[in-house]
Amino acid sequence: MALHISSGCFTVMCNSRVHRIRAVASEGSATLNTVVEEKVKLGGSDLKVSGVGIGAWSWGDTTYWNNFEWNDRNEKAARAAFNTSIDGGLTFFDTAEVYGSGLALGAINSEVLLGRYIKERKEKDPEVEIEVATKFAALPWRFGRQSVLNALKDSLCRLGLTSVDLYQLHWPGVWGNEGYIDGLGDAVEKGLVKAVGVSNYSEKRLREAYEKLKKRGIPLATNQVNYSLIYRAPEENGVKAACDELGITIIAYSPIAQGALTGKYTPDKPPSGPRGRIYTPEFLTKLQPLLNKISEIGEKYDKTPTQVSLNWLVAQGNVVPIPGAKTAEQAEEFRGALGWRLTDEEVAELRSVASEIKPVIGFPVEKL
């Protein structure tokens, strides 16, 4: 084991794995708050992923992101985000068969892009660790368990893989939900996936899916839901408590509220495109006290508002946030959310300030 110390950050080399330990001095105290960066286990499965993942919703998209256009510049930036994420230890990537859909110029499927980036990276570094998650779209014309397997095989083709680490139902179906859960189980038994999960599931649906898979000896590993400081519905509707009880990990999408918690938007400079209709100048004005508190706490740790907001979710326990990275700079910033931990008092203080703000839901709005 080798130990290197630099600028209050320790790097430990052990069994070919790098663990970075962030040392944070408590105010008025010499004690250190240290957290070792390790991969986390998803629910009752054997799958381990990085404590912060990367969402690939924006990759190839022309309907919500990228100013309604996808071009070579966008792709170069996404590729850089992918590689920077891996270099920083963020090796878990979440995509979906419907990501990258769009009629505007240059739209390309997110799975295709992720598969392309994985292939390129593995050609240079065959031993690189990458965990891939994708999702089945519960479209009204899809019926039964075979539709899940068919869609999964199409996803694998686009990704250029023989299996994925995590396969999820993107949202509850209008009908056929039992068949969809059966399909997840079949995918595990056929060796096409290592673990399975759901997304946007209410407590009731979550428990039903858990029990159905349990009868086959298959754990329900995850429930991917909208969860952030300004959208805490999982804490209020029983989903977070049920996940903790059943041993199901929450994957938090939109964990920085699609950029609203980064501090880069103001009432005078709201986000463009569809997000501007959600995070309006009026809402951003109401958000300012929370952003001030986030910044105040961040200064104590030399952390950005983005890093504090992500760490707040990590500090809840049993939560893996997956912010979207469109650039290398964003991916580099996200890695700074790990290796340290907000105190319980800071977590509670941020929740208290956030509770004064009426939550908003970013697109897509999917019924639980």
Q: Is 99 a catalytic residue?
A: yes
Q: Which of 332, 91, 342 is nearest to 229 (CA)?
A: 342
Work out the angle at residue 309's Cα, subtended by the Cα atoms of residues 308 and 314, and round it to the nearest 5 degrees: 90
Which helix (H) or strand (E) is 207 found in, with range? helix 203-214
Distance CA(170)–CA(261), nearest Å, equals 25
The angle, 0 to 180 degrees and rounded to 10, between the axes of the packed helices 110-124 and 72-87 is 50
- The label of the residue with tokens 């990085």 reads 50
Q: Which of 273, 324, 275 is nearest to 90 (CA)?
A: 324
Letter string b/e over residues 9-21, b meaning 16 or more CB atoms within 10 A of that residue's CB: ebeeeeeeeebbb
Distance CA(365)–CA(368), nearest Å, equals 9
Close Cβ partners of 224 (under 8 Å, ≥ 6 residues apart): 94, 135, 168, 197, 198, 199, 200, 250, 251, 252, 253, 322
- Structure tokens belonging to residue 127: 């031993």
DSSP readout, 314-368? HTTSSEEE--B-SSHHHHHHHHTTSS----HHHHHHHHHHHTTS----PSP----
DSSP readout, 172-187? --SS-HHHHHHHHHHH
Catalytic residue (one of 64, 99, 180, 265)? 99
Q: What residues are annotated to the active site?
A: 99
